[in-house]
Chains A and B, each alone.
Chain A
Amino acid sequence: MGALTRERDVREAYAAHSGELYGFAVRSLGDAGLAEEAVQETFLRAWKAGERFDPEIGSLRTWLFAILRNVVIDLGRARASRPRVAEGGVEPSVEPLEQALLAWQVEEAMRRIGEDHRRVLLETHFRARPYSEVAEELGVPEGTIKSRVYYGLKALRVAMEEMGYED
């Protein structure tokens, strides 16, 4: 896809990237309504600046995330200037925005890898449970847990790379 100037281009970009953009917006802002606003504003800005998008410089996904990042900053400032009201749903992220984006990518990548790999990584790494205990719980040899950790990290890396992550 070249410049994002036609309404049809925006529709295609929305179909391809809205889920990820919305997921990150919810994580950053902690509010579904604000996240909708952020995604809407992102696509509007992208359409207005569509002629400046150059696929040879970077991917459309990267460009949209860069716009969303600015929108989230703007919305965060606007919210900070308003009196705090009770909000339901997800707690907003308190990390710096770049770190929040990376954290969201890791979480999204973890959701994308296979269930067996995800579960083993969650239990052994995030919950610090011994491999032997997890192996017993799952009814598999301990070597299988070690193998799942290895292939889980491999799969995680591939998922991260699909989302534009580079070392």
Chain B
Amino acid sequence: MRTDDHRDWKLSLGAFALGDLPAEERAAVAAHLEGCAECRADLRELEGVSALLPLADPTRIEQPPVRPPADLGARIEAQIAAESSREGRERRRRRFRLWIGGAAATAAVAAVLALIVLPIEGGENSPAQEVRFTSVPNGVSIDATLEPHAFGTEIHMYVKGIRSGTLCRVFLRDDNGRTYSAGSFRYRWGDDSEAELSSALDLSQAAAIGVHAGGRTFVAPVSGATAVVMGTDPDPT
């Protein structure tokens, strides 16, 4: 068999696989296939894909390819970031509540500690902090979660026991005593939800967090000599 003949037979295999050859030519190709293992192997590959062609809709093939909107990726990232942040908060909140429960059971120890700072996720990659205000009247509890961000600090406040409708103004204070507003919220009795706030001060620069509420100011250290570090929890996952 000459090389050129073989090539000619080979180039007919596409039309053969699709059933496009006239009967005489088809018979000739079939005869060649009897004696050519290489062409038989080639044909098997072509038949596989030829069998799929009827599935396709030619009008769809000719339509320009659709592309997702340019902002879809950013929307997905934002949703995942929000979910990530929410899940992280919930996880820390659950752990913080568990810790508070334990602390209540050991009241003698708690009485010794004037102020407690509990870093829940230690390490350089997750320096978020949980802060419990301890200098508060009986029946009142104020807790906060602080998370570092590029814009500053995200703050979640959990307040209980003060008069419903009380305006609470939150601030952060740096080492020099300068205060940075973190916004305000109004406490409603029976509302267990957290207040989400933010401040322009970096968490690494924050020395204390404060709340003006009902004519009084409550302050708890975020870092510094008065804080008692209770240790670092293992990875919450």
- A residues contacting B by CB (< 8 A) are 7, 10-11, 14-15, 18-19, 22-23, 26-27, 32, 35-36, 39-40, 43-44, 47-48, 90, 99, 102-103, 106-108, 110-111, 118, 121-122, 124-127, 131, 143, 146-147, 149-154, 156-157, 160, 167
B72 contact from A18, A153, A154, A167, Cβ within 8 A: A18
B13 surroundings in chain A (CB, below 8 A): 150
| B73 in contact (CB, < 8 A) | yes
Q: For the complex, give the distance between the alpha carbons of A167 and B47 in Å.
A: 10
A100 to chain B, nearest CB (A): 9
> Interface residues of B toward A: which range?
35 or more
* Number of CB contacts from chain A to chain B under 8 A: 121
Task: Offer 15 A-B interface pairs, CB within 8 angstroms, sorted by A.
Answer: A7-B77, A10-B80, A23-B66, A36-B69, A40-B75, A44-B79, A102-B55, A108-B65, A110-B56, A122-B58, A147-B11, A149-B15, A153-B49, A157-B48, A160-B52
With A11-B77, A103-B57 given, can you name 18 additional A-B contacts, CB distance below 8 Å? A10-B77, A11-B73, A14-B73, A40-B76, A44-B79, A103-B55, A108-B65, A118-B61, A131-B15, A146-B12, A149-B20, A150-B12, A150-B14, A150-B15, A153-B46, A153-B49, A153-B50, A154-B14
Q: For the complex, give the distance between the alpha carbons of A154 and B46 in Å.
A: 7
Residue of A nearest to B60 (CB): A107
User: 3 tightest CB-CB pairs across the interface, nearest first?
Assistant: A150-B14, A149-B14, A22-B68
A118 surroundings in chain B (CB, below 8 A): 61
Q: Are A10 and B76 in contact (CB under 8 A)?
A: yes
A53 to chain B, nearest CB (A): 15
Q: Are B55 and A36 in contact (CB under 8 A)?
A: no
